[in-house]
Homo-oligomer: A and B are copies of this chain.
């Protein structure tokens, strides 16, 4: 199974970059502050910037190897690149932009054009030139162009930044499906923790030109300053209620019910539970709309200003609850205490449907 191995060091002007990580098929997010070097890393992988040292290997093919003097030309790297600035061809119609890889790049015809056009809502603009498109329309054309390039690696630099929520909600599952179906690595730069949690299998945290950490979205995003604390739980669908469109997921040691139309029985999913969505009760309660009442043991209580973060052990898994320090004191919460975690079914986000072969972390 082919992935992408990156181990490079180089410069963009006076800015030094060094990065080492691997990206398996599926989505790997590059996460980091503005100016951290995310785009520079993507450019080096694409070949439009040249690292000084190191290797880039894709699916066994060496794209770049400073020591061996290998530097595959950009066109031969088999990438699809959504640039941060859209880089549409101003003299070509939207249609010709979208299909550029086919008629000029001789890339294979993969995904059907009408499907991508419909997904991106570009039907009415196919014969226009990019010059007068709106910002979001331009961005959509850029996404479509990369998707239609039949890439072996997909590099996406903030591809959804200027799209509305509804459009994002349409495109995200599609990207998810692309990553799963075609089994290619997708490197995805985004600032939206939600998007990253939803899409990414792995997060590469970039800081000041270096990789600060590599890990699961839960590991990296959980500690993200300014972000919200959340845990990701992985499990298998053990029950489906077609009438109420809810599903029961066995997360190992406990079951969680969530609102999720269309989840197939037996499917493996990743659930995202925000700490602020988890309440704590000292005992189980009747007459509550909150249906997930999970017995846990308090492992740690961290008071952060006015809030308290309670780390809860649920068998093997961990949950985090964020409540006010006042509540924590009022309930007299202490480490080792048995409590009930209350999690609203509608608050549980199904972050991602996983591929059958994907390992549960």
Query: When A34-B163, A134-B34 are in contact, do A327 and B306 touch as well, CB less than 8 Å?
Result: no
Query: When A132-B13, A140-B34 are in contact, do A162 and B164 touch as well, CB less than 8 Å?
Result: no
- A250-265 near B? 1/0 per residue, CB < 8 Å: 0000000101110000
Instruction: Flag if B289 contacts A279 (CB, 8 Å).
Output: yes
Q: Tell me, rounded to whole Å, the shortest Cβ–Cβ distance linking A14 to chain B.
A: 9
Q: Which residues of B contact A335 (CB under 8 A)?
A: none
Query: When A193-B165, A291-B324 are in contact, do A244 and B306 touch as well, CB less than 8 Å?
Result: yes
* CB of A135 within 8 Å of the partner chain: yes
A135 to B193: give the CA distance in the assembly, Å. Answer: 18
Q: Tell me, rounded to whole Å, the shortest Cβ–Cβ distance linking A253 to chain B.
A: 22
Instruction: Flag if B279 contacts A246 (CB, 8 Å).
Output: no
Instruction: Flag if A227 contacts B165 (CB, 8 Å).
Output: yes
Query: When A35-B137, A165-B193, A166-B33 are in contact, do A281 and B289 touch as well, CB less than 8 Å?
Result: yes
Q: Tell me, rounded to whole Å, the shortest Cβ–Cβ distance linking A10 to chain B.
A: 14
Q: Which residues of B contact A13 (CB under 8 A)?
A: 132
Q: Which residues of B contact A200 (CB under 8 A)?
A: none
A120 nearest CB neighbor, chain B only:
B34
Instruction: Flag if A259 contacts B324 (CB, 8 Å).
Output: yes
Instruction: Flag if A136 contacts B34 (CB, 8 Å).
Output: yes
* CB of A326 within 8 Å of the partner chain: yes
* CB of A241 within 8 Å of the partner chain: yes
* CB of A294 within 8 Å of the partner chain: no
Instruction: Flag if A245 contacts B34 (CB, 8 Å).
Output: no
Instruction: Flag if B137 contacts A245 (CB, 8 Å).
Output: no
A158 nearest CB neighbor, chain B only:
B162
* CB of A58 within 8 Å of the partner chain: no
Instruction: Flag if A136 contacts B331 (CB, 8 Å).
Output: no
Q: Which residues of B contact A166 (CB under 8 A)?
A: 33, 225-226
A281 to B345: give the CA distance in the assembly, Å. Answer: 15
Q: Which residues of B contact A157 (CB under 8 A)?
A: 135
Our pick among B161, B244, B331 for the contact of A324 (Cβ within 8 Å) is B244
Query: When A39-B134, A169-B226, A346-B307 are in contact, do A288 and B277 touch as well, CB less than 8 Å?
Result: no
A283 to B12: give the CA distance in the assembly, Å. Answer: 62
Query: Which residues of chain A in 1-40 are interfacial with respect to chain B, using CB atoms and an 8 Å cutoff?
Result: 12-13, 32-35, 39
Query: When A166-B226, A226-B165, A305-B245 are in contact, do A137 and B327 touch as well, CB less than 8 Å?
Result: no
* CB of A276 within 8 Å of the partner chain: yes
Q: Which residues of B contact A139 (CB under 8 A)?
A: 34
- A195-219 near B? 1/0 per residue, CB < 8 Å: 0000000000000000000000000
A84 to B162: give the CA distance in the assembly, Å. Answer: 9
Query: When A191-B163, A327-B289 are in contact, do A306 and B245 touch as well, CB less than 8 Å?
Result: yes
Instruction: Flag if B164 contacts A161 (CB, 8 Å).
Output: no
A131 nearest CB neighbor, chain B only:
B13
Our pick among B279, B288, B305 for the contact of A261 (Cβ within 8 Å) is B305
Given contacts A34-B164, A279-B279, A285-B285, 7 further A-B contacts (CB under 8 A): A35-B134, A35-B137, A246-B326, A257-B324, A281-B287, A291-B327, A326-B345
A contacts, CB < 8 Å to B: 12-13, 32-35, 39, 84-85, 121, 132, 134-137, 139-140, 157-158, 161-167, 169, 191, 193, 224-227, 241, 244-246, 257, 259-261, 276-277, 279-283, 285, 287-291, 305-307, 321-331, 342, 344-347
